[in-house]
Amino acid sequence: MANLSKRLQTNVEGNFFVDSTCIDCDTCRQLAPLTFIEDGDYSTVFRQPETAKEELAAYQALIACPVGSIGTEKKDRKVFLEAQASFPLPIECGVDYVGFNSEKSFGANSYFIKHSQGNWLVDSPRFLKHLVQAFEEKGGIRFIFLSHEDDVAEAARYAKHFNAIRIIHRADASAMPGAEQVIDGENSVHVAPEFVCIPVPGHTPGSMALLYKNRFLFSGDHLWWNPNLQQLGTPERLVWDDAQLKRSVKKLLTHSFEWVMPGHGERIHLPHREMKNALDQLLQRRWNLQSLPF
């Protein structure tokens, strides 16, 4: 729970605030960009909510914050409970943003996919009664896709509760001992109808992306959208192997998708061709590769 005595001086006056325990994971900025902004090594409140919709979004950010760094001078319990009940948040076509980001994964996003042949959890949120009940109401969890070793969080507890199959790459498998399905090598693997695991080593040796319906790319910490620059981004630090990372980004040009759903950073929806253009521009900008035909 946020501590008013630790309130950052960068916050504007008003009800919502961020305290000095913030880890700058960007969760709040994704959920309530009209209220929170990055300022140095922290997020901060640069504008207090002015409408009911903005207030709800700010409470959603408060709830999703993995370290409880967001607080209020006076809590509106009704809006707080409404925000809590809103998770998981629907995105499109049965894909939800789960919320309740975990400190164990540095606040990484997780996603839920409703599917007729078994539901999927992509990376792991905190293990909470609210989410367990929400997943049970949606039919449980059959598969848990783990994008890489950093974002496993509470996956083992969810797997045990739902008797789910955990999928991880062998190169990162030490982070999830006993995983039921381990992916080897760098070739893409069709693991279920409409689901493809794409190894994308670079950030870690065993980083993977999950492609769903040739529309949604769950990219872990491999790829994200930078809203300030209006372009795709990929890691420039905490990189295991930069040459591998370049090949992994280039590999994605052979796949078709229109959503990037990252563990960190903004998600983005672009038409297929615009997405390929954005990938091409990333390769040129980051590694000075010439434009690629497609």
Same domain, 268 and 145: yes
Strand partners, 209: 198
Q: Encode pLDDT of 163-204 as tens digits.
A: 999 999 999 999 999 999 999 999 999 999 999 999 999 999
Tell me the two tokens of residue 202.
Answer: 């670079």
Give the pTM: 0.95
Distance from C-alpha of 267 to C-alpha of 253, rounded to nearest angstrom: 18
Report the percent of the chain where pLDDT is more than 70.
Answer: 98
User: What mean pLDDT do residues 16-42 have?
Assistant: 96
Same domain, 92 and 51: no
Same domain, 199 and 251: yes
- What total of structural domains would you count in the chain? 2
294, pLDDT greater than 70: no
CATH number of the domain that 244 lies in? 3.60.15.10
Tell me the two tokens of residue 58.
Answer: 């700010």
In a domain, 293, yes or no: no
Same domain, 110 and 138: yes
Domain stop point among 51, 66, 84: 84
Same domain, 110 and 253: yes
292, pLDDT greater than 80: no
Distance from C-alpha of 124 to C-alpha of 160, rounded to nearest angstrom: 13
Give how far the C-alpha of residue 117 lies from the chain's centroid of Cα atoms, to the nearest Å. Answer: 23
- Cβ contacts of residue 68 below 8 Å, gap of 6+? 1, 2, 21
Same domain, 281 and 223: yes
Residue type present at position 287: W
* Full residue range of the structural domain in which residue 14 is found: 4-84
In a domain, 136, yes or no: yes
Specify the DSSP class assigned to residue 27: H
Dihedral-angle region of residue 190 (phi above 0 means left; psi in -120 to 50 means alpha; beta otherwise): beta
Same domain, 53 and 107: no
Same domain, 92 and 236: yes
Q: What is the mean pLDDT of the chain?
A: 96
Same domain, 154 and 78: no
